[in-house]
Amino acid sequence: MVKGKSRQNNGSCAVCGQQDSRKKFRKLTKNLLAKAIKSSAAQQLTLKLNLNDQLCQLYYNNFIVYDRGIIKSQNKRKNTDLLYYPEGKRKISLSQEKYEHLLNVKNTVNELMQQLEDLESQLNQIEKARESESTNFSEFFSDKIKQITNILYKYFCEKNLPVWDAKEFEELIVNHNPEVKGFFDIVFQSMNSEGKNLQTQQLLKQKVMLLFYQIVAMKNKQVSGTKTAIGLFLINSGASVTCINALANMGICSTYQTLYNKLEAIVNNHQYSMQAYIYRQHNKLIIGCIDDYYNLHSTRIPTVTFKDQISHIATMLFNTSEASPIPY
């Protein structure tokens, strides 16, 4: 029993008609047929070659692989020039077209050197222009940040609270210094705001406002009203000392020690601030006292062993509204 795959191409040859089981035949595929038609030997035939025709080895070589050795020898002669061997250097290979171009070139060495100098001069001018643009933008950005820093420094020195609305923040800096008008929009537009919806744009403006606060605080550490406000919010929310100090290292809020000193100052000045407030509002202020007031809503550690305690008396201040009554 003969093992292996049985031969499929057994002849006969479409050109010579030979059929011999001992010889090898090749079938013309689509690509082989296209190549065979282009050969000079096939063009001299009186018959027409068709797809799936079989050829003996002789005519297969004449029609299909006739140019195998010719193509390699042509490429070798075309890509290599064996006449040029610079002394003391590695062998250089030139194509025939490049070699003829070098022989026929009309520019002298001096003309080529002049062209190189002109190109170098143009390159230097372009680099200087880029450096000038970068320097101008850096100076512009630094100047605007300096102006905004001065605005916020004076604003916080007057004991004002931070502005948390982006529109009010922009109006604040523009009203204090009209030269910074449009700078907020420049930074906002650089955040690819056009591709976002209105709600996302509003949130992005809030983030740009906080970015301004952070940059100003890095430029002048005295302008830290926003960082202090964020830190006090974290303390009131129950954040730990480690959490607050970690955020302080990232420049988001003040350190825990700074916040503790701020809270201590608020407690110490509470009596004075209340007296000043009562003095300013004494004509329209109502003082109310509630007896047996429970501390149910105070901030305490959860426990199951103590009940709500009586605070006995709680004093509240009612400030009447200055708005005129609604007519009816």
Q: Read off the pLDDT band of 106 (50, 70, 90).
A: low
DSSP β-bridge partners for residue 319: 285
Q: Phi and psi of 319, rounded to 5°? A: -100, 120
Domain ranges within the chain, ordered by starting residue: 7-66, 141-271, 282-319
- pLDDT category, 24, cuts 50, 70, 90? confident
Sheet strands (E) in the chain: 25-27, 54-56, 285-291, 313-319
Instruction: Note the pLDDT of residue 1.
Output: 44
Residue 8 CA to chain centroid, in angstroms?
61
The whole-angstrom separation of Cα 258 and Cα 215 is 19
Q: Identify which has the larger pLDDT, 137 or 310.
A: 137
Maximum CA extent, the chain: 127
Q: Which residues contact 16 (CB under 8 A, 6 or more apart)?
A: 56, 58, 59
Rounded to two decimals, the pTM is 0.46
